Amino acid sequence: MTKVVQLGCGICGLVCAEHLAKNTKVDELTLADIRTEAAEALSKRLGTDNVSIKKVNGTEASALKGLLKNADLVIASMPWRLNRVVMETAAKVGCDYLDFGMPFDSTIEPDYERYEKMCKEAGIRALIGMGMEPGTSDVFAMHASKKLDRADEAHVYDGDSSSVEGLEFFTTWSPVDMFDETSVPAAVFRDGKIEFIPPLSSKEYFEFPEPLGRLPVYKTNHDETYFLPRGIKTLKHASFNIFIDDNFAQAATIFRKFGLLGTEPIDVKGTKVVPRDVIVSLMPPPTKFADKIRGTAGFVVEVIGIKDGKRTKVRVWTMTTYEEAYRLYRTNATGYMVGTGGAVSAEMLIDGEVKEKGFVIPEYLDTESYLKRLKQKGIVVHEQMIDIDRND
């Protein structure tokens, strides 16, 4: 029997859960969260007998230990900084682990190596960064690199045209993660080493395939910048670039400068308050307006290198509309792509395609198997090879 725990039942986690609930190899699927309303709604809609609901605080190790002790796999889709305790507990009880974004600021910090050793010694497979970005984006980059004789650069571009009538200020995934991403220095891999630049300091414009078109993008601190050079050894440059609405970028910058994105409690008239919690609590969770979003989301991966002596760019991309994502999985386009990427990785593990103990980043997965499974789940993949001038 295969027993899976989906810990964190938000906009992305529930998409992954729905895929796995339909997998004949998953005998038991436990949906666990501190708030269970969304999980209960999914369970009712699916009407299957292999799904159960547990109310659990994912930050309490004792509660997690009881939840995971008989599980084969835990999929952690809480805000990424909260997932360390999940990984620690999984290692203690011998349960395989998967998340949608690694629970570390980078792969170059001591905790990364310490947790990697912990998982390997525990004999568990810990698949980290297995959503859309990171996750599917990394697999696209690996796929593209194999079409070149040598890959020199890899860059990921996230685009979005979402709008919600009556909402001016919103995010289509975790507000905690979004503000975290826009408040810390951005990582860039340049000339073979990681460098950091100030938050939201690198605005440029990128021409996405239609219907997205030309959008402003910013470099942020994202897993791909660390993962890609590990998977594609010849890379000299790598980056992650994401569309951020000008109004949101300006607000996030002001919040950061005022200290409103701080995570340490401050005293407010005798009450301890975490500043970022106040900002996040004023934003609607993405599950509350998934049916109201209009527009398209997608991402492009560009890998540049040499093919037959010529400088060549390989472009791989995918897109989906918000309307289609809601029709299919009662979610938004971001949640659909992140959750589907997580489900593909989980099913590869369940099917025995992931052998390595310890940390497994997306670049280590079988790219052809991943892409085949992705297409079977309705994600359309486009690719293009472009000859470019040597001085371009």
CA–CA separation, 221 and 194 (whole Å): 11
Q: How many domains does the chain have?
A: 2
Looking at the fold, whether 115 and 232 belong to one and the same domain comes out as: no
Looking at the fold, whether 318 and 363 belong to one and the same domain comes out as: no
Looking at the fold, whether 176 and 48 belong to one and the same domain comes out as: no
Residue 351: CATH number of its domain: 3.40.50.720
Looking at the fold, whether 109 and 178 belong to one and the same domain comes out as: no
CA–CA separation, 273 and 282 (whole Å): 14
Residue 325: CATH number of its domain: 3.30.360.10
Banded model confidence at residue 390, pLDDT cuts 50, 70, 90: low
Looking at the fold, whether 287 and 309 belong to one and the same domain comes out as: yes
Looking at the fold, whether 307 and 172 belong to one and the same domain comes out as: yes
In a domain, 392, yes or no: no
In a domain, 200, yes or no: yes
Residue 370 predicted with pLDDT over 90: yes
Banded model confidence at residue 392, pLDDT cuts 50, 70, 90: very low
CA–CA separation, 302 and 304 (whole Å): 6
Looking at the fold, whether 183 and 242 belong to one and the same domain comes out as: yes
Looking at the fold, whether 202 and 117 belong to one and the same domain comes out as: no
Give residue 76's pLDDT. Answer: 96
Mean pLDDT, rounded, for 368-378: 96
Please name the residues in contact with 187: beta carbons below 8 A apart, sequence gap of 6 or more: 106, 194, 195, 196, 219, 221, 222, 225, 226, 240
**pTM score of the predicted model:** 0.93
Report in angstroms the alpha-carbon separations of 181 from 79, 80, 314, 318: 11, 11, 27, 23
Banded model confidence at residue 198, pLDDT cuts 50, 70, 90: very high
**Domain region containing 355:** 3-131+338-371
Give residue 116's pLDDT. Answer: 97
Looking at the fold, whether 167 and 179 belong to one and the same domain comes out as: yes
Looking at the fold, whether 208 and 329 belong to one and the same domain comes out as: yes
Give residue 376's pLDDT. Answer: 95
Looking at the fold, whether 325 and 214 belong to one and the same domain comes out as: yes
Give residue 391's pLDDT. Answer: 47
Looking at the fold, whether 198 and 146 belong to one and the same domain comes out as: yes
In a domain, 40, yes or no: yes
